[in-house]
């Protein structure tokens, strides 16, 4: 895959609910609590045969629209390029009620395709809580203990976003030939304050 890296601005400018949660995402990336990498590639890089094979697997899972299913197939192809052989659909995040569109559980990769309705899942599922004072962020806390077990909380290594390549999410045809995948991981800035008010900490102390 001949992917090209892009700046974080491309992902953070994706239309999302104009609420403080979206601003927090930008804050976390700017302050290096989260790391964001964007790669782009041409849709034609995916062979027709491979796409058809993956698309059949996607059809067996829950889909919202044909375009949504197409993006699930794209996400599957992308994960396979990252050496993810075990790909599942409609996968719950570890010990959470939230569901990811596509996942590679052994690697801890969870993918949201189309529109991310609740932007908070990106940083909450990566283990961060944002505490604010008015409109300002006052502190960033660890949401839950870390874990090496891929089925337990704290084991999400990356959340990938594959946004709709069209303005109208019900259209099947792309408006552009280039697709983007935005990958969020924990950044270089350490989070030293443990969120021990959360019930998860009480269970493991």
In whole angstroms, give the CA distance from residue 131 to residue 185: 20
75 contacts 84 by C-beta, under 8 angstroms: no
Instruction: Tell me: pLDDT of 87 over 70.
Output: yes
**pLDDT digit string, tens, across residues 22-43:** 888 989 999 999 999 999 998 8
Q: What is the mean pLDDT of residues 2-19?
A: 61
Least reliable range by pLDDT among 43-52, 153-162, 173-182? 173-182
Instruction: Scan for tokens 């090209």, then name that residue.
Output: 4
Domain count of the fold of the chain = 1
Q: What is the mean pLDDT of residues 166-190?
A: 82
Q: So what's the pLDDT on residue 193?
A: 74
Q: So what's the pLDDT on residue 78?
A: 95
Q: So what's the pLDDT on residue 19?
A: 74
* Structure letter (DSSP) for residue 107: G
In whole angstroms, give the CA distance from residue 65 to residue 67: 5
Q: What is the mean pLDDT of residues 127-150?
A: 86
**pLDDT digit string, tens, across residues 161-177:** 998 887 776 666 777 77
144 contacts 38 by C-beta, under 8 angstroms: no
Structural domain span for residue 150: 4-204
* Residues above pLDDT 70, as percent of the chain: 87
Instruction: Tell me: pLDDT of 138 over 60.
Output: yes
Instruction: Tell me: pLDDT of 1 over 50.
Output: no
Q: What is the mean pLDDT of residues 148-168?
A: 86
Token pair, residue 111, equals: 């993918």
In whole angstroms, give the CA distance from residue 56 to residue 86: 16
Picking from 40, 197, 12, the residue whose alpha carbon sits closest to that of residue 122 is 12
In whole angstroms, give the CA distance from residue 23 to residue 189: 18
Q: CA neighbours within 13 Å on the CB side: how many for 139?
A: 8
Task: Tell which wins on pLDDT, 201 or 41.
Answer: 41
Q: So what's the pLDDT on residue 2?
A: 47
pLDDT band (50, 70, 90) for residue 68: confident
195 contacts 141 by C-beta, under 8 angstroms: yes
Token pair, residue 33, equals: 């609590």
Per this entry, what is the length of the chain?
Answer: 205
């Amino acid at each position: 895959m001949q992917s090209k890296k892009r700046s974080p601005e491309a992902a953070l400018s994706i239309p999302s609910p104009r609420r403080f949660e979206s601003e927090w995402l930008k804050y976390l990336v700017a302050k290096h609590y989260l790391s964001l990498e964007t790669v782009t590639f041409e849709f034609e890089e995916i062979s027709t045969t491979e796409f058809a094979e993956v698309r059949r697997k996607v059809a067996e899972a829950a889909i919202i629209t044909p375009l949504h299913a197409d993006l699930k197939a794209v996400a599957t192809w992308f994960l396979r390029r990252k050496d993810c052989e075990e790909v599942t659909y409609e996968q719950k995040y570890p010990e959470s009620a939230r569901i990811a569109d596509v996942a590679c559980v052994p690697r801890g990769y969870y993918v949201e395709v189309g529109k991310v309705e609740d932007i908070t899942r990106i940083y909450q599922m990566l283990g961060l809580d944002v505490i604010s004072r008015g409109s300002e962020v006052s502190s960033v806390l660890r949401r839950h203990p870390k874990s090496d077990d891929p089925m337990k909380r704290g084991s999400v290594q990356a959340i990938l976003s594959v946004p709709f390549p069209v303005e109208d999410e019900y259209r099947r045809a792309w408006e552009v030939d280039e697709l983007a995948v935005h990958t969020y991981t924990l950044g270089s800035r350490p989070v030293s304050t443990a969120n021990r008010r959360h019930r998860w900490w009480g269970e493991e102390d």
